[in-house]
Structure formats: C-alpha cells, structure tokens
C-alpha cells in the first residue's frame, strides 16, 4: 500500500535527523543555455516566465551577475571549478577541464562544485548538459560531451531529437547553415512537448527526486552506491533557448512576429572592428522579417524552458523537499538578439556577458530577503564558495577558489561589505577581455591597450552601450584606471596557479 505524501515527508525528515544530515541542505542546481536577462524577474514582460518569477519571490535575484566567458564550454568549466578560464585552461569549447588537470599538478586534485559535495558524502547527479555538450550534435546521440565523470554518482545523458523533431524546421539565417550555430525554428504541436530534450531532462530529474525521497524515507538495500540517507546535489541542464529554437505552439502564441521590435542600432562607428564580428550581414544574413522571427522563437523557447523549471519546483513542493533544498537558477552566459547589430554569443557587450542568477535558500535565516534584488556585482565563479558556505563547508573550501561567497547577500540583499567588486570576462581564446566595475565597462581587443582596440561605457547614462568614450578627454583618467584594473586581474587569472 502506498504511503501518503504527508507520511512520506515525515519519514524523510525523521530519517534525515536520525542520520545526522538534518543540517545538510540538498541542492537543485539548474543551468539554462544561452539565456539572457530578458526574463520575467528582470523585465516587465507579462506572463513570460511565471515559474522563474515565483522562484525569485522565494529567493534573491542578482541584477549584476556576469559570466567569465560568453561561450558554453569555458563558462561552464569556470563556473563549476570556481576558477577563471585563463586559470583552469578552458578557453574554447574543445578544451576539457579534466584534460588540463593532467598537465597542471595544482589542479589535478581540485574538485568541481559537485565533486566537492561528492567527497563530503552527498549523492551527486547530473541530468543533461552541465559541462559542454553539442546542441545539436551530441544531444541526439546521448553523448556526455565534456563531462567531469568524477563529479557524479549518477549521470544521465538525454537523447533528444532536436532538429529531427516531428515538425517543419525553418532556416532563418541564410548565410549560416550550421545547425549548432545558425538560427532556425520549429513550431511543434502541443501534444509533442514530451518529446523535447528539456521535457525529457526535467522528467528524469523528477524521477531522481522521487527516488531520493523514497530511498531516504523507506531505506535502500545498496547503501554504498545510492547513499540513500545522504543529502543530494542534483544538477539539471536545460538546453533551451540554445538553437535550434524549438517549442510547442502554445509557447509561440504570446509572441506574434509582427509585434516584435528590433533593437535600435547606433554608435557603431567608434567601435573596434573585432567587436562587430557577429554582425548580421557578416554571419547570418537575416532580413528584417527573419530577425523578428528569430526573436519571437527565442522568447517561445525561453517560455518552454520556464515550464520545465516549474515542473521541477512543483516536484520539490509535492515531495516535501523544498524546506531543505537550496535552488540555484543561472545561465551559462547572456545572448545578443540584434543589439549593436550583433547576434548570439562570444561578444563582450553587456547583453552577452550579463546573466540571470536567482538563489532560493530555505529557512528563517533567509526569509527576510525573499523577493529582493541584490545590485552588487557578482560573477559565476562566486557560486562555488557560496554553495559551500550555505552547506557549512566554508572552512573546507579549496584555497585556489577565485570567487567570493554570496551568503551575506542572501541574508540581506542590501549588505555592504565595504569592498568594491568587479566582474572579469574574456572571449576569443582569452585574446579579448572586459571588465565591469561600478557603472563602467571597459573592453580591450588585444594584449596591448590602444585607443583603436578599446571600448569604455558609462552605464549610469548609457546602459545600452551606444557611446564609446575611449576618445573622450573628459574621462581620460577613468580610462587609465580601468586599464590598470583589467591588467591587474588579467595577470592574476593568468598566473594564479
């Protein structure tokens, strides 16, 4: 006879207390792919991402969070290792964190976030794309991509159809035919949503959550393998809105193509040529209609991804796990949708390096900050020390971590540490770098600084980065200060180990 949900929850909590894990939180770590901050918690788009909106109401939204590399592989390796890309040696999608460890003794024993928790006795599991994985390309084959197998007790590679889905695939970027990087869309019947990669990933994650709740409450025979009484670290990779832009019909309805407004394009004459590498006519060749369809399909894909987040959160609630589970939602990097006439990732504009980050930690200690916004500049490498701090392992954290713990801001999003924090991002194999410091962004396209390869923006009066101030004598002192700051942190990242 099946136990009721309330009885199962009671047994779960009782068993946790007896096992000594009552104070050790679980983690649900959700990473979206190619997601910018055009989502509900960061905008006024009505009914766009209702589940992420609800998550933000039960946690802290970080409005100034930045990736360390606007490309999937290096960003994810940086996030999961807690190290800058130049430090861990992962500077393109073909690099793998594990292979760099072989040649670097100081990294050979350094665990990823998940690996650290596994060493502490957590049950760690991965569903779909956490490290780099071909989308499409690897997903259809159920490939593991650039995974770190030592991080997990259990790993599940989704075998999703992607471009082979049961619909008509429409190419939107005539100059780019590579389906891992071009713009294409597919509108699916609502009844086929269960065939999609993210739906399959969420379903498997739900099965893991149900298994964990059942195994803890009812026991399990193979305690060594499954760690039935241990807390869990469950990492779930959702691949949308990464191209191809595929979603059920219901998700396209709120975004009619004719209502899409393309970004205003101004101020490109003073921008270094390398900053404009991803311009439409150079890479994509989209006409105005195709650009609008791309944006509409991107938004639809985001909404479909949000539905899967909702399924995961509902499962936590239904199983009684929410009270002891910390939920992290983040993207690997931002994404340009026509700003500066540039599209996709890799660029160092604000839109491609700023990411959504929401952390929901349960308990009275954090409730006063629920629904608030932290405006402190933070980085993805801050997640590693933050999660260790939340679980009581701050004193055991690896010495080489380069981020800061965000726990004080989770307790009080207006916390003032007395320090001024910057965000450092590199791209194009590390040959280009950008620094966000206060209201200023400074970008350099090369090793040596000169006014032909630099950008300087003041977000206080130019948040869209339309006016490059590098040649403005009124801000010469700021330019020199930003040059020095970037060089200092660049040297630290390159020579840390």
Q: Measuring CA to CA, how many Å separate 274 from each of 40, 175, 446, 485?
A: 32, 19, 10, 22
Reported as a pLDDT band with limits 50, 70 and 90, residue 102 is: low
pTM above 0.85, yes or no: yes
pLDDT of residue 101: 64
Dig out the tokens for 374 from the structure. 């932290």
What's the rounded mean pLDDT across residues 240-244? 97
What's the rounded mean pLDDT across residues 251-264? 97
**pLDDT over 70, % of the chain:** 92
pLDDT of residue 98: 64
pLDDT digits (tens, 9 = 90+) for 47-81: 999 999 999 999 999 999 999 999 999 999 999 99
pLDDT of residue 226: 61
pLDDT of residue 3: 40
pLDDT digits (tens, 9 = 90+) for 401-456: 999 999 999 999 999 998 999 999 999 999 999 999 999 999 999 988 888 999 99
Residue 382 confidence (pLDDT) above 70: yes
Structural domains in the chain plus CATH codes: 5-419 (3.40.720.10)
pLDDT of residue 116: 98
What's the rounded mean pLDDT across residues 147-153? 94
Residue 244 confidence (pLDDT) above 80: yes
pLDDT digits (tens, 9 = 90+) for 24-42: 999 999 999 999 999 999 9
pLDDT of residue 93: 87
Q: Which of 90-94, 175-179, 406-410 has the highest mean pLDDT?
A: 406-410
pLDDT of residue 21: 39
What's the rounded mean pLDDT across residues 77-104? 84
125: nearest Cα among 15, 1, 270, 225: 225
Question: Which of 92-106, 122-136, 343-357, 469-483 comes out lowest in average pLDDT?
Answer: 92-106
32: nearest Cα among 150, 135, 138, 181: 135
Q: What is the 3-state secondary structure (H, E, C) of the chain?
A: CCCCHHHHHHHHHHHHHHHCCCCCCEEEEEEECCCCCCCHHHCCCCCCCHHHHHHHHCCEEEEEEECCCCCHHHHHHHHHHCCCHHHHCCCCCCCCHHHHHHCCHHHHCCCCHHHHHHHCCCEEEEECCCCCCCCCCCHHHCCCCCCCHHHCCEEECCCCCHHHCCCCCEECCCCCCCCCCCCEEEEECHHHHHHCHHHHHHHHHHHHHHHHHHHHHHCCCCHHHHCCCCCEEEEEEECCCCCCEEEEHHHHCCCCHHHCCCCCCCCCCCCCHHHHCCEHHHHCCCCHHHHHHHHHHHHHHHHHHHHHHHHHHHHHHHCCCHHHEEEEEEECCCCEECHHHEEECCCCCHHHHEEEEEEECCCHHHHCCCCEEECCCEEHHHHHHHHHHHCCCHHHCCCCCCCCCCHHHHHCCCCCCCCCCEEEEEEHHHCEEEEEECCEEEEEECCCCCCCCEEEEECCCCCCCCCCCCCCHHHHHHHHHHHHHHHHHHHHHHCCC
pLDDT, mean over the chain = 91
What's the rounded mean pLDDT across residues 174-181? 89
pLDDT digits (tens, 9 = 90+) for 445-485: 998 888 899 999 999 999 999 999 999 999 999 999 999 99
Reported as a pLDDT band with limits 50, 70 and 90, residue 218 is: low
pLDDT of residue 142: 82
198: nearest Cα among 96, 89, 307: 307
Reported as a pLDDT band with limits 50, 70 and 90, residue 224 is: very low
Residue 487 confidence (pLDDT) above 80: yes
Which position has the higher pLDDT, 46 or 21? 46
pLDDT of residue 139: 86
Residue 344 confidence (pLDDT) above 70: yes
Residue 172 confidence (pLDDT) above 70: yes
pLDDT digits (tens, 9 = 90+) for 294-330: 999 999 999 999 999 999 999 999 999 999 999 999 9
pLDDT of residue 12: 41
Residue 96 confidence (pLDDT) above 60: yes
pLDDT of residue 66: 98
pLDDT of residue 13: 45
């Amino acid at each position: 006879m099946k136990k009721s949900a309330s009885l199962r929850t009671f047994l779960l909590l009782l068993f946790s207390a007896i096992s000594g894990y009552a104070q050790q939180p679980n983690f649900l770590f959700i990473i979206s792919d190619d997601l910018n901050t055009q989502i509900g918690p960061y905008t006024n788009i009505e009914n766009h991402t209702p589940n992420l909106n609800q998550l933000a109401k039960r946690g802290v939204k970080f409005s100034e969070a930045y990736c360390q590399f606007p490309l999937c592989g290096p960003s994810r390796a940086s996030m999961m290792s807690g190290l800058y890309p130049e430090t861990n040696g992962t500077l393109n999608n073909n690099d793998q964190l594990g292979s760099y460890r072989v040649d670097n003794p100081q990294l050979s024993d350094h665990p990823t976030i998940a690996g650290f928790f596994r060493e502490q006795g957590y049950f760690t599991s991965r569903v779909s794309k956490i490290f780099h994985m071909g989308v499409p390309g690897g997903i259809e084959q159920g490939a593991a991509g650039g995974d770190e197998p030592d991080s997990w007790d259990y790993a599940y590679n989704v075998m999703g159809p992607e471009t082979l889905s049961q619909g008509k695939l429409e190419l939107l970027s005539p100059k780019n035919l590579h389906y891992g990087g071009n713009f294409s869309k597919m509108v699916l019947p609502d009844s086929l949503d269960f065939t999609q990669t993210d739906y399959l990933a969420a379903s498997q994650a739900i099965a893991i959550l149900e298994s964990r709740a059942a195994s803890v409450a009812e026991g399990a025979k193979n305690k060594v393998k499954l760690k039935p009484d241990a807390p869990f670290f469950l990492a779930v990779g959702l691949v949308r809105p990464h191209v191809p832009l595929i979603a059920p019909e219901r998700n396209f309805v709120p975004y009619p193509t004719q209502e899409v407004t393309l970004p205003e394009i101004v101020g490109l004459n003073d921008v270094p040529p390398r900053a404009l590498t991803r311009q439409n006519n150079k890479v994509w060749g989209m006409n105005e209609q195709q650009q609008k369809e791309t944006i509409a399909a991107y938004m639809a894909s985001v909404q479909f991804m949000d539905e899967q987040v909702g399924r995961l959160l509902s499962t936590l609630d239904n199983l009684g796990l929410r009270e002891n589970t910390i939920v992290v939602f983040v993207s690997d990097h931002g994404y340009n949708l026509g700003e500066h006439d540039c599209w996709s990732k890799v660029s160092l504009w604000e839109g491609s390096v700023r990411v959504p980050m929401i952390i929901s930690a349960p308990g009275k200690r954090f409730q006063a900050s629920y629904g608030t916004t932290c405006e402190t500049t933070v980085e993805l490498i801050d997640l590693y020390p933050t999660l260790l701090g939340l679980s009581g392992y701050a004193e055991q954290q690896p010495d080489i971590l380069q981020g800061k713990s965000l726990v004080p801001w989770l307790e009080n999003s207006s916390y003032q540490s007395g320090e001024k924090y910057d965000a450092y991002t590199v791209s194009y194999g590390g040959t280009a770098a950008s620094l966000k410091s206060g209201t200023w962004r400074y970008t350099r396209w090369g090793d040596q600084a000169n006014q032909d390869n630099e950008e300087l923006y003041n977000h206080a009066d130019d948040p869209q980065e339309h006016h490059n101030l590098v040649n403005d004598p009124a801000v010469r002192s700021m330019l020199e200060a930003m040059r020095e700051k970037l060089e200092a942190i660049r040297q630290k990242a390159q020579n840390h180990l």
